[in-house]
Chains A and B, each alone.
Chain A
Amino acid sequence: MAPNWSKSVMEERLYQTNDLMRDGPLDAMKHLMHRSPSFQLCLLAVLIGFVAHQRAGFAATDHWPELRAAMVQTIKGYAATLPETAGTGGISDNVLNVMSEVPRHRFVPKRVEHRAYQDRPLPIGHGQTISQPFIVALMTELLKVNRDAKVLEIGTGSGYQAAVLAGLVEAVCTIEIIPELADTATGILKDLGYDNVQTKIGDGYLGWPDCGPFDGIIVTAAAGHVPPPLIRQLKPGGRIVIPIGGVFGPQYLTLVEKTAGDELQTRQVLPVRFVPFTRGSP
């Protein structure tokens, strides 16, 4: 009775319909005609909705740098809405520069490559997603790490967050629990020459003592509580960033800071500026 959705089956199902549109609506129509008649009507309805949505993707695949630049502009726009507690003063140029170089499209399944720079999370199979670019930028920014820092990432996922960190710090150690995801991400990171990233398959709750201690720890999978082993592996002055919320977007981020005197302080950051107490206005 356990669900048996292999990666390929799952992606097949998620993107079956998108495939039809990849070569343009006319080809897609021909494609449809080969389907059984009962499917035609159903898929037609979907098609109409998808066509507009997809058009940007058809032409764009040769223009990755432009798409990345546009993505960075979007992030800048959102950064202006960040609340004070984020303590970031927006997203720094360092982070934005790195994000305008990391080829995000390489970290998503081929089928959704053309949507890699859209402002949204994308499914990468196994019930996991690659985070929305703005959230990647914000979480990286919140870590406030220097060039010579060592960072631990819990939840490699696609490997994109690790790649962004690799451009900013000296060493990144990243742990993934699902073997298939870890293997894919390791391969991509290696292909792209990120040799300051170490990956391993394992239980992120226990951290990676042999790799630590760390200046920053970034947890990309929402947890019920902050794992105590991670706190032990954090250097004084270091920070942990953990998102709390659903699969397709965090509700808020939690930031744990360890002071020089080994004291802990946490801050809870709403990514958006949202004012629930406006009096007198409707």
Chain B
Amino acid sequence: MIPHVALAVISAAVLAYEVLLVRLFAIVQWHHFAFMAISIALLGFGISGTLLAIWQEWVKLHFTKIFAACAILFGVSALVSFLVAQALPFNALAVVWEPAQLLYLPIMYLLLVVPFFCGATCIGLSFVRFGDEAGRVYAFNLIGSAVGALGIIGVLFVMTVQDALKLVAILSLLSAAVISLQERWGLRSVLVTGYGILALVIWAALPDAWFALRISEYKELASVLKITGTKVLSERSGPLGLLTVVESPNVPFRYVPGLSLNAEALPPDQLGVFTDGGSMTAVTRFDGQREQLTYLNYTTDALAYQFTTRPSVLVLGAGGGRNVLQAVYHHAKHIDAVELDANMVRVVQQDYAREAGNIYSRPDVHVHLAEARGFTASSQRQWDLIQIPLLDASGGGIHGLSETYIYTAEAFSGYIERLRPGGWLSITRWLKLPPRDTLRLFATALDALRGSGVEAPENQLMLIRGLNTTTLLVKNGAITETEIARARGFAQARSFDLCYHPQISADEANRYNILETPYFFAGTKALIGTERDSFMSHYKFDVAPVTDEKPYFFNFLKWRHLPELLSIQRSGGAGLLELGSLILVGTLVQATILSALLILAPLWIRRRSLAGFGQLWRVAGYFLALGLAFLFIEIAFIQKFILFLSHPLYAVAVVLTGFLLFAGIGSGVSSSIAERIDNWHKTHPGRMPYLSAIQFSVAGIITVSLIYMLILPTVFAALLSITDTGKVLVSLLLIAPLAFFMGMPFPLGLSRVWSGAPALVPWAWGVNGCASVLSAMLATLIAMNFGFSVVIWAAAIFYACAAAVFVRPLDAS
């Protein structure tokens, strides 16, 4: 029992570390970078499996000592590797100019492989030592991991990321302390005392300066702090991000995206609020004088207010409160402000309430802590104006990999349903040349309107463009002559260009901010006309509408135009390159090479000394298929649940926990189920064709996952409005049966290998680790190009293949 508990503790530490790295890298670099580092770090699992395979007899003899040493090394290297990795001079932004920058990545990988290697060795060691009870070992491993993944999210609510990192190290010492309980009494007390002192040192005695996060100097916060007089007023740390509030008395913040050239009035003083060192939003000093806010009538997102009087307004993504102030300026009679991050609300409503003029506590303003889709689905209200402000920074293509459910066709239909007759939906994006986001939004709105039964959707849309923002308006009803006349007056007074409305003409669309080609006018015209399909297929960027099935709004790359984009990047075209997908493919290639080199090559070299080598291909095939399939399903479900649980981090934590927990239970009971199945066949000979436990579980997985593909969208739509706790419970309930079956094939296969060709157990572990490295990236790539359903189908096929490979028992000779 002692080794099992120690295993569960170290498993928790490893998973907690993995989740923590995502947060840490999102702060010091950019989030896509975290994704790469962690995929590669999984290699540690593979490498450890290989080494265990080679030295298994020796390590079995020294189980306790090696386990303890690896647990301690995990803790120490978890701290050191990150601190060194963040100090590397890697600069993701300069990669276009200096491809050699990419050579820093292998260093990063080598650094991060160390802790994962040590942690994985503890786990793999337990399988080698207690392989005859693989189900039980696997169960402790999975349940520990589940607690770690979910626990760390909770921890991040109450402590900083740095303290959480120390906690992970201490957890690994706890694991070492548990395993030392197997030692004789004297040694045991010495060791436990030693670990205790070490834990105290890590928690309290290490200098804070070592743990200071070194934010890339190219992130907004770092450059703002270079300005004389700027200072950090406060920080709020939470699982959704680190908020830093900055004051700049000498050079005031003047954050007004898209302000017209004709604006005379300037914004009042502002405080800058940075999320993870980037994505700035501002808290504007407001003393209740409406005139101070005149500038907010000089941005493209003020257009909708020209058509409404005393509207009720919903702001989806209220942030620092800019669009709430805009609504106040325009005499809105009721304002609902929806914000996802509780810390952001606290900054505006509590910490700087006085500066912000108590806007979040006004009687006409109602703040809701919620996610946009969930809120609109659950609310019974209807509004005259739904405003979706600029929600993210204008970073160069790095968002390509993130799924966004607020801009999908299904989301649009939901928003439109919540508009009063004659109400407006207003969505603002950064202007990009040639247009990408804006045309995709336009196409999505057209689809959504058509889907809602509107016969002439082109009569309900309006698009306006300033110097660096565009605003798309969707009306619940046909746009009138009067409204067009007002829009023209608004645009003219601000030197904005109307790019689309039902009566647009070419000469109206490119009047003030002159573009070489009237991209927006031509693009929107093509999208409403008969040449829509031909336009979309010939346009150099992918601007097809996005759906919940393939919600990669920021993925504009078309592979066949990549050569052209690469060829013009130096003559001023660097900004046209959408990096997301490229980084993903690059990482996949690197990971394939590294896993072949580090996991498979050493085993291949030592193949002669491994008994049962003849069975290798079947063992490798089985565990390769399982490794790919398990993560395919897990990742597809994480993505599906993001919509339901409102945030990627919650989805990762809940889905991961659910899968690990119930797969752990499935694994724990797998051997007894196998026994029962065999007994049943013995007592009922010939009643049914022989079905092994592996085939039984695979049949369960395929059936449940295919049923879910059909019913999940309906279930989510019906339950989107229940409470957060309710959603977590429903999610776990949904995951339970699927994960239960998915927990079985691995230990069942492993015990077959154990009895048939025991020398191949570490191989199985290594190949499985290798497949896991690749499958996370492969799944995302497939989802981006073909949608989530294809990922689930592929997983079902892999499971079927695995079952087929192990139909025949392994030859014990």
Contact = CB atoms under 8 A, between A and B. Distances in A.
Interface of A: 1-5, 10, 13-17, 41-42, 45-46, 48-50, 53, 77-78, 81, 83-85, 119-121, 123, 126-128, 132, 134-135, 138, 177-179, 201, 203, 205, 224-228, 231, 244-252, 254, 256, 264-272, 274-282
Nearest to A128: B223
A15 B514 CA distance: 42
Given A135-B572, A265-B512, A224 B98 contact: no
A14 B516 CA distance: 39
Nearest to B232: A2
Given A224-B258, A251-B575, 18 more contacts: A2-B225, A3-B225, A120-B98, A205-B251, A225-B257, A225-B467, A231-B261, A244-B467, A245-B575, A246-B575, A249-B574, A251-B396, A252-B433, A266-B261, A268-B513, A272-B568, A274-B568, A280-B538
B256 A224 contact: yes
Contacts of B258: 224-225
A55 to B, nearest CB: 12
B542 to A, nearest CB: 12
A4 B222 CA distance: 9
27 contacts: A3-B217, A10-B217, A46-B107, A77-B571, A121-B97, A123-B94, A126-B223, A127-B217, A127-B218, A178-B227, A203-B252, A205-B251, A224-B254, A224-B256, A227-B254, A249-B97, A249-B575, A252-B575, A264-B262, A265-B514, A266-B261, A268-B513, A270-B433, A272-B571, A272-B573, A274-B434, A277-B517
Contacts of B94: 123, 248
Given A45-B103, A251-B432, A226 B212 contact: no
B33 interface: no
A248 B250 CA distance: 26
A3 B571 contact: no
Given A226-B467, A250-B572, A279 B93 contact: no
B235 A246 contact: no
Contact of A45 (B106, B396, B514): B106
Interface string B452-483: 00000000000000011000000000000000
Interface of B: 87, 89, 91, 93-94, 96-98, 100, 102-104, 106-107, 110, 212-215, 217-218, 221-223, 225-228, 232, 235, 250-252, 254-264, 266, 395-396, 432-434, 467-468, 495, 512-517, 519, 522, 534-535, 538-541, 560, 568, 570-576
Contacts of B572: 78, 134-135, 138, 249-250, 270-272
A18 to B, nearest CB: 10
A83 to B, nearest CB: 5
Contacts of A4: 212
B217 A266 contact: no
A123 B396 contact: no
Given A178-B227, A266-B513, A276-B540, A45 B107 contact: yes
Contacts of B97: 120-121, 248-249
Contact of A277 (B100, B103, B512, B539): B539
B751 to A, nearest CB: 39
Given A85-B514, A248-B97, A16 B89 contact: yes
Contacts of B575: 245-246, 249-252
Question: What is the predominant secondary structure among interface residues of chain A facing chain B?
Answer: mixed
A85 B494 CA distance: 22
Contacts of A231: 261
Nearest to A206: B251
A266 B223 CA distance: 28
Nearest to A54: B100
Given A248-B96, A249-B574, A276 B254 contact: no
Contacts of A50: 100, 103
B538 A3 contact: no
A119 B226 CA distance: 28
Contact of B541 (A49, A269, A276): A276
Contact of B571 (A41, A134, A225, A280): A134
Nearest to A86: B516
